[in-house]
Every structure is written in structure tokens, then in C-alpha cells.
Amino acid sequence: MLKEYLWIPELETERLFLRKLTPDDIDDLREWLGLDIVYQYWGRSANKDEKNPEFLFVDPRPHVKRKPSHDFIWGIESKENHRVIGIIEVFDVENDRLGKIAYRINPTCWNQGVCTEALTKVVNFIFSETTLDRLHAEADIENMASNAVLKKCGFTLEGCIRNGKMVNNYCTYNIYGYIRDDFRQRANRQHT
Ligand SMILES: CC(C)(COP(=O)(O)OP(=O)(O)OC[C@H]1O[C@@H](n2cnc3c(N)ncnc32)[C@H](O)[C@@H]1OP(=O)(O)O)[C@@H](O)C(=O)NCCC(=O)NCCS
């Protein structure tokens, strides 16, 4: 089930809307969210909700009062056909200081710059509109696409965990960070 979020602002790029997921998106999500290929480097397999996206919108314990999460999750809607072709999230937000980045795109849309476009916007939003000081990302060294996206979006490669464990998967993975100072420095460079 999706958490209850404090705030999911709508963001827009040239080709995309980033916005809250709704039950109207179930058919779009069903096409790709449960595919094995999406989880090849994810650290775990698709779960029940990802294989059956209708469960994302059903609260199994509706009487439990939950605190809204400070995380962000956006559905990535293509302006061309208004279908949800991806999900991008900032999760494990801690004290409004740190957050981790994750993204998944419908494989039929891979290598068209969708993730780069969405992540660039999310980075911009996080450092312009929130108090987060750091975005953290991890990518299996074999996940060429994810490593490429992070580099293109200006994340700094901070280290490599050899034969480590990413979520539930034993692998060698890179750690990337984007901090508020990086954002300031890039903004200053663009203005000079
Ligand atoms: C990672 C992912 C989100 C990238 O989405 P995308 O929309 O295809 O990304 P983009 O098109 O913006 O960029 C992909 C880049 O990877 C490069 N790339 C893809 N496969 C590659 C490969 N095998 N070798 C080298 N580069 C590769 C592309 O050429 C492109 O770079 P370029 O624009 O410089 O040419 C997508 O592959 C995905 O959903 N993967 C499954 C989920 C996942 O692994 N998420 C990340 C977990 S850390």
C-alpha cells in the first residue's frame, strides 16, 4: 500500500508531469511495475503490490491511524499519451535532512532520457523547496543505466561497496550523493 504522504507537489518538465499516483493509474502500472526486468538490479523481486497495483490503493488496516510520511513519491506521466511510465521517489527521509532516491521506468520507454529528465527536476525541487541537505543513491555497478542517470544528473560518486548487500541482494554497488552545496555551486556557475 502507498503510504499517506504529507505533501506530493506536482512538478512539470518538457515532456513529463510528476504527480501523485491515483487508482486511475492502475492499468498503466500493471503493464510494467511487476516485470522481473525492472527488478534485475533493485535488490529484491517485485512484491505483491507491484505485481497487482490495485493493492497499492487499498489500506489493509483502514482503522489504524498513521502519521503522514515526509517521503515523496511521484508517478511520471508522459505528456504525449498521459500514461504513467515511471515512478520516482525520495524515501527514508530523515528529520527533513536526508533522503534516498529511487526510480523505475516502464522498459518500453528506456533510453529516451525520461529518468534523467525526471530526476533533474526532483533534484531541483528538493534543494529549492525543501530543507533536505543530501540526496543519497545506490546503484549496482552492473546497472549501467542507473549509474549513467546519476552521473548525468550531477550526483557525485562517493564510493563503492565491494561484495556488499543492497536491500536483499549481495552485489558490488556504487554510492552517490548530491548535497545542497553541489546545488548552490551549480546554480552559481550557471549565473556567471
Ligand atoms: C535505471 C532506469 C530508471 C533508467 O531510466 P531511463 O529513462 O532509461 O534513463 P535515461 O534514458 O534518462 O538514461 C539512461 C542512460 O543509460 C545509458 N545506458 C543504458 N543502458 C546502458 C548500458 N548497457 N551500457 C551503458 N550505458 C547504458 C543510456 O545510454 C543513457 O545514457 P545517455 O543518455 O548518456 O545515452 C531504467 O533503466 C529502469 O527503470 N531500470 C529498472 C529499475 C532500476 O534499476 N532502477 C534503479 C535502481 S538503482
The answer, yes or no, to whether any atom of ligand 1 lies below 6 A from the CB of 105, is: yes
Per-residue pLDDT, 60: 86
Averaged pLDDT of the chain: 96
- CA distance to 73, 91, 115, 130, per residue, from 178 (Å): 18, 15, 16, 14
Per-residue pLDDT, 170: 97
**Residue 62 — pLDDT band, cuts 50, 70, 90?**
confident
Query: Quick one: what percent of the chain has pLDDT higher than 70?
Result: 100
Is the model's pLDDT at 191 over the cut of 90?
no
Letter for the amino acid at 180? Answer: R
Strands 72-78 and 16-19: antiparallel
CA atoms of 169 and 171, how far apart (whole Å):
6
Ligand 1 centroid, distance to 189 Cα (angstroms)? 27
Ligand 1 centroid, distance to 27 Cα (angstroms)? 24
Structural domains in the chain, CATH included, are 11-191 (3.40.630.30)
CA atoms of 82 and 94, how far apart (whole Å):
33
Is the model's pLDDT at 83 over the cut of 90?
yes
Contact (CB, 8 A) for 88 and 74: yes
Per-residue pLDDT, 109: 98
**Residue 79 — pLDDT band, cuts 50, 70, 90?**
very high
Ligand 1 centroid, distance to 24 Cα (angstroms)? 27
C-alpha grid cell for residue 70? Answer: 515526509
pLDDT tens for each residue of 115-158: 999 999 999 999 999 999 999 999 999 999 999 999 999 999 99
Closest CA to 177 of 121, 123, 113: 123
DSSP for 34-83 reads T-GGGGTTTSS---HHHHSGGGGG--SSTTS--PPBS-EEEEEEETTT--
